[in-house]
Structure 1
């Protein structure tokens, strides 16, 4: 059983046979550090599971660059708006490290509903989990002080602090690099 099959089985309760059918539609893909999974304005025609590595989702605004999310092993990556609704992406998605993925294209994704009888239950659960994750991030941004947001990210994803440029983490947490550094110094002393 590969990482993708294990993840699908563990998190969504799909049978092992169906996990193998689903994973058979995905193809291995590698991204070298610095290469792009997707660029702003392009159409996203793929959904990928991150087997290893880190990927940053960000947008270039006129006055700054904003990191929306850092994807790590065990997470899926795509531009949902582009993938599901066929709109051009507002995001850049770039490998921060050499990254190994399992990737399915849009046509393969549509095929899953024909191959797996319970696919629509899985899809609903998958989208619900994505929505809850985003909802929790928004709630944290509007309800928690900067120090608590920093601490929560540190507790949940400690490895990011040694492998990702700190300005990306500051942006993802909705704070300036100066605030991020001040909190980091305070917590380390």
Structure 2
């Protein structure tokens, strides 16, 4: 729980009273490798902070899944559109390795929002974090080459290349696994 507390303390002054209220609503959950945090058609009930591990976000396909995001330690993850609207999501979130998250439920978060200015600020920080990641990805698709997207992914998380299957990386950067192999040969 120290990681999530440190994350918020780096952004704002937390009072002990507020931290006690917020942390009392957090639940730790462990997901074995290749487990679904949420599947398509379900409604997201949790906002999660990754304490350990990594996940991928993908749209299930009949032939191939379409990976459109990764989330790593010390970051929030959620089917956030579903979380906000409380409507079913159209994609899945899957653990790539054993993953440990701290979760707060939608109902608990709404209750805390009503009682605390700090909670509203923390909720805004979590939402902004998820939005900024989405915006970075969209901009990257518009201005960067597949090679630049590949290099950027591992400049941010260099130790993770051995944990993410190449087919997921290829899908994430918008190319085939064969095209990714050519990029990897060219830059090695």
TM-score, normalised via structure 2 length: 0.91
Q: CA RMSD in A?
A: 1.6
Say if 1:50 and 1:101, in contact at 8 Å, map to a contact too: yes
Report what 1:119 is aligned to. Answer: 119
Q: Check whether the contact 2:57–2:91 (CA below 8 A) recurs between aligned residues.
A: yes
Q: CA deviation at 1:148?
A: 1.3
Task: Say yes or no: does 1:13 pair with 2:9.
Answer: no
Unpaired runs of 5+ in structure 2? Answer: none
> Equivalent residue for 2:148?
148
Partner in structure 1 of residue 94 of structure 2: 94
Query: Partners of 2:154 and 2:31 in 1: how far apart?
Result: 26
Tell me whether 1:66 sits opposite 2:73 in the alignment. no
Shift of the alpha carbon at 1:123? Answer: 2.5
Unaligned runs of 5+ in 1: none
CA positional deviation for 1:63: 4.4
C-alpha distance in 2 between matches for 1:167 and 1:57: 14
Aligned residues: 187
Contact 1:9–1:16 (CA under 8 A) maintained in structure 2: no
Please show how residues 1-189 of structure 1 align to structure 2 within 5 Å.
2-10=2-10, 12-17=11-16, 18-188=18-188
Runs ≥4 residues deviating over 4 A: none
- Contact 1:48–1:104 (CA under 8 A) maintained in structure 2: yes
Equivalent residues of 1:55, 1:72 under 8 A apart: yes
What CA distance in whole angstroms lies between the structure 2 residues aligned with 1:82 and 1:2? 27
Q: Distance in 1 between matches of 2:95 and 2:129?
A: 23
